[in-house]
């Protein structure tokens, strides 16, 4: 499979967009990982023909004819969108998410919808109403989550580019476990309009790709203010694509790392982290040990704030305007309660309960307000860290891909698998996972880089350099 950049160049030079789109559709049909849950052949072929017409008319399209896949929580007008929940079965959005619309305007062609944890609640893709996704690197293992389908679709070579959403690591952790690049931009970089909301102060849409350069190009096309999302920032976003092309360590670069991260890592991940530090130092970077004293509380803070926001966001699913409605309810209240009970899976129910609990009278101060205070302390830790270094290096996940069922019995163990990615969202900073070799079982290991808010371009430059080091 070619990169997105290579496909766009070929189509811009006159190759029909139909060729790569047809190849991607064929690969999606043959998918054995359950990454793809819906294929949009007719729509994609029509879109490819329109790209050909636009190129023939002299337009320059940065993603001309690039086949992409989108996570099932991004609305596309006319295409069923369910967040992999039974409660949204059959939902056909009347509008398209801004991020997807911008990619299509730039010439990208949506060929498929990808599997995910229900409402993005999970780290293994095992909570999907469509069943789990198999990791393309080892089908007995999970792909990570919640954007497990998008990560697997890229890793399996079905599409060069896929969209995910990241509330606490849902792009970076599956990217790491599947061996692809995945980026969560600064909060406010990409419009959330048309993204089925999970944690509104945390959610960001971002790319999964085979290369940092493709991720940078995709992000540049999506980024920028959107009148439909008042939290999308009025900031210039040029230069992201160029940044992703960089292969060299900028002179004088200071890379921070948190020594405490070394404890509790799987041995294969620890070995790759040491290799990354060594190679960065050899390439001229200065490694700076950094203390993040409140990071240890990130999981607790996250599961208060994210579930509080989720419980509020999921209150819209009531069986009235869209989604599943129970048969023959006796009263309106029974209609709500039974429709929701029948439509939501167990993980969604648990998060609604927890979120309702932490927001309820008598507990709000002890949990929600306290979590918002510790969130500020975590943000302060990041600000102090970035006074001493330009970027933070660490593992994207404490382990490589685990086996199906391994963590489903114990929600806390599952939640702890996001321990290195949650704080990024709490602080609103950008983070990217870059493949950096494998463990002894040949399972991919991803390194995470984080930078301060709105240093997305600097982060992509460093990620490109780390990718070059990984290639040796």
Partner 1 sequence: MAITEQDIRHLCKLSSLSLGDAEINRMSKELEAIVGYVQQLQEVDTTGVEPIANVAGLENVTRPDVPAGMLTQRQALANAPQRNEVAILVPKVVER
Per-residue tokens: 229: 């999302």
User: Does 312 participate in catalysis according to the annotation?
Assistant: no
The total number of residues written for the chain in this structure: 472
DSSP letter, residue 364: I
Task: Identify the three-state secondary structure at position 69.
Answer: strand
Active-site entry in 146, 191, 232, 339: 146
Q: Which stretch binds partner 1 (CB under 8 A): 119-127, 277-285, 361-369, 461-469?
A: 361-369
User: Does 170 participate in catalysis according to the annotation?
Assistant: yes
Select from 250, 315, 388, 442 the one that contacts partner 1 (CB under 8 A): 315
* Under rule CB under 8 A, residue 404 binds partner 1: no
Cα dihedral: 398, 399, 401, 406 (round 10): -100
Check if the beta carbon of residue 238 is closer than 8 Å to that of residue 189: no
Q: Which stretch binds partner 1 (CB under 8 A): 66-74, 167-175, 353-361, 463-471?
A: 353-361
* Closest distance of CB 299 from partner 1, Å: 8
* Under rule CB under 8 A, residue 235 binds partner 1: no
* Closest distance of CB 325 from partner 1, Å: 4
* Under rule CB under 8 A, residue 94 binds partner 1: yes
Select from 262, 356, 404, 438 the one that contacts partner 1 (CB under 8 A): 356
* Under rule CB under 8 A, residue 238 binds partner 1: no
* Under rule CB under 8 A, residue 230 binds partner 1: yes
Q: How many CB atoms lie within 10 A of CB 29?
A: 12
Check if the beta carbon of residue 61 is closer than 8 Å to that of residue 152: no
Distance CA 215, CA 235 (A): 19
**Which is closer to partner 1, CB of 196 or CB of 299?**
299
CA-nearest of 451, 408, 453, 402 to 431 is: 451
Select from 2, 50, 91, 242 the one that contacts partner 1 (CB under 8 A): 91
Active-site entry in 71, 184, 407, 452: 71
Site for partner 1, residues 167 to 226, rule: CB under 8 A? 187-188, 201
Distance CA 456, CA 244 (A): 10
Site for partner 1, residues 36 to 75, rule: CB under 8 A? none
Active-site entry in 124, 147, 170, 232: 170
Q: What angle do CA 193, 196, 201 make, to 5 degrees?
A: 75
**Which is closer to partner 1, CB of 223 or CB of 469?**
223
Select from 45, 349, 404, 408 the one that contacts partner 1 (CB under 8 A): 349
* Under rule CB under 8 A, residue 86 binds partner 1: no
Distance CA 325, CA 1 (A): 43
Q: From residue 125, how far is each of 71, 174, 258, 265, 350 by CA, in Å? A: 12, 9, 29, 22, 16
Check if the beta carbon of residue 472 is closer than 8 Å to that of residue 435: no
Q: Which stretch binds partner 1 (CB under 8 A): 17-25, 173-181, 228-236, 434-442?
A: 228-236
Q: Which stretch binds partner 1 (CB under 8 A): 132-140, 173-181, 249-257, 423-431?
A: 423-431
Distance CA 261, CA 232 (A): 32
**Which is closer to partner 1, CB of 54 or CB of 349?**
349
Distance CA 202, CA 140 (A): 31
User: Does 86 participate in catalysis according to the annotation?
Assistant: no
Per-residue tokens: 174: 């599956």
Distance CA 306, CA 141 (A): 27
Q: Is the dihedral of CA 140, 211, 229, 44 positive or negative?
A: negative
Select from 272, 375, 407, 461 the one that contacts partner 1 (CB under 8 A): 375
**Which is closer to partner 1, CB of 56 or CB of 330?**
330
Q: Which stretch binds partner 1 (CB under 8 A): 15-23, 273-281, 313-321, 393-401?
A: 313-321
- Mark 267-306 with x for binding to partner 1 (rule: CB under 8 A) and - for no binding: ---------------------------x--x-xxx-xx--
DSSP letter, residue 428: T
Q: Which stretch binds partner 1 (CB under 8 A): 16-24, 28-36, 87-95, 136-144?
A: 87-95
- Tell me the backbone φ, ψ of residue 254, rounded to 5 degrees: -110, 115
* Under rule CB under 8 A, residue 413 binds partner 1: no
Check if the beta carbon of residue 14 is closer than 8 Å to that of residue 52: no
Select from 6, 357, 406, 408 the one that contacts partner 1 (CB under 8 A): 357
Residue tagged 């309810």 (tokens): 329
Site for partner 1, residues 97 to 156, rule: CB under 8 A? none
Task: Identify the three-state secondary structure at position 42.
Answer: helix
**Which is closer to partner 1, CB of 319 or CB of 464?**
319
Distance CA 458, CA 435 (A): 18
Q: What angle do CA 208, 209, 212 make, to 5 degrees?
A: 110
Total chain residues near partner 1 (CB under 8 A): 71
**Which is closer to partner 1, CB of 231 or CB of 286?**
231
**Which is closer to partner 1, CB of 270 or CB of 358?**
358
Q: Which stretch binds partner 1 (CB under 8 A): 107-115, 151-159, 360-368, 430-438?
A: 360-368
- Tell me the backbone φ, ψ of residue 435, rounded to 5 degrees: -60, 135
* Under rule CB under 8 A, residue 376 binds partner 1: yes
Which positions are catalytic? 71, 146, 170
């Amino acid at each position: 499979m070619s990169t997105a950049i290579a496909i766009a160049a070929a189509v811009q030079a006159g190759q029909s967009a139909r060729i790569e789109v047809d190849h991607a559709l064929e690969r999606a049909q043959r998918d054995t990982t359950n990454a793809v849950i819906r294929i949009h052949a007719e729509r994609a072929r029509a879109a490819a023909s329109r790209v050909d017409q636009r190129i023939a008319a002299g337009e320059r399209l940065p993603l001309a004819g690039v086949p992409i896949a989108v996570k099932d929580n991004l609305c596309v007008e006319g295409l069923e969108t369910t967040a992999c929940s039974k409660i949204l079965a059959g939902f056909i959005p009347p509008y398209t998410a801004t991020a997807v619309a911008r990619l299509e305007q730039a010439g990208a062609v949506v060929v498929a919808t990808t599997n995910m944890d229900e409402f993005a609640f999970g780290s293994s893709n095992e909570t999907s109403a469509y069943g789990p996704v198999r990791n393309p690197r080892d089908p007995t293992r999970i792909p990570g989550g919640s954007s497990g389908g998008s990560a697997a679709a890229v890793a399996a070579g079905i599409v060069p580019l896929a969209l995910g959403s990241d509330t606490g690591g849902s792009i970076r952790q599956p990217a790491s476990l599947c061996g692809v690049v995945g980026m969560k931009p600064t909060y406010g970089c990409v419009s959330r309009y048309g993204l089925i909301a999970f944690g509104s102060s945390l959610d960001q849409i971002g790319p999964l790709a085979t290369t940092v350069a493709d991720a940078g190009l995709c992000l540049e096309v999506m980024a920028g203010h959107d009148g439909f999302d008042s939290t999308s920032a009025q900031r210039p976003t040029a230069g992201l694509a160029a940044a992703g092309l960089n292969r060299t360590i900028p002179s004088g670069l200071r890379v921070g790392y948190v020594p405490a991260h070394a404890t509790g890592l799987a041995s294969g991940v620890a070995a790759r982290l040491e290799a990354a530090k060594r190679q960065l130092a050899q390439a001229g970077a200065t490694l700076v040990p950094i203390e993040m004293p409140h990071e240890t509380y990130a999981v607790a803070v996250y599961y208060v704030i994210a579930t509080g926001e989720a419980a509020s966001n999921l209150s819209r699913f009531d069986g009235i305007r869209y989604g599943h409605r129970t048969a023959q309810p006796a009263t309106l209240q029974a209609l709500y309660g039974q429709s929701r009970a029948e439509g939501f899976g167990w993980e969604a129910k648990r998060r609604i309960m927890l979120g309702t609990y932490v927001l309820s009278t008598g507990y709000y101060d002890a949990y929600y307000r306290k979590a918002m205070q510790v969130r500020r302390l975590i943000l302060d830790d990041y600000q102090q860290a970035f006074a001493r270094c330009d970027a933070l290096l660490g593992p994207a996940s404490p382990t490589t891909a685990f086996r199906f069922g391994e963590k489903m019995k114990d929600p806390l163990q599952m939640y702890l698998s996001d321990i290195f990615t949650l704080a990024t969202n709490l602080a609103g900073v950008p983070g990217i996972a870059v493949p950096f070799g494998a463990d002894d079982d040949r399972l991919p290991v991803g390194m995470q880089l984080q930078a301060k808010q709105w240093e997305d371009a600097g982060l992509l430059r460093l990620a490109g350099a780390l990718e070059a080091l990984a290639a040796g």
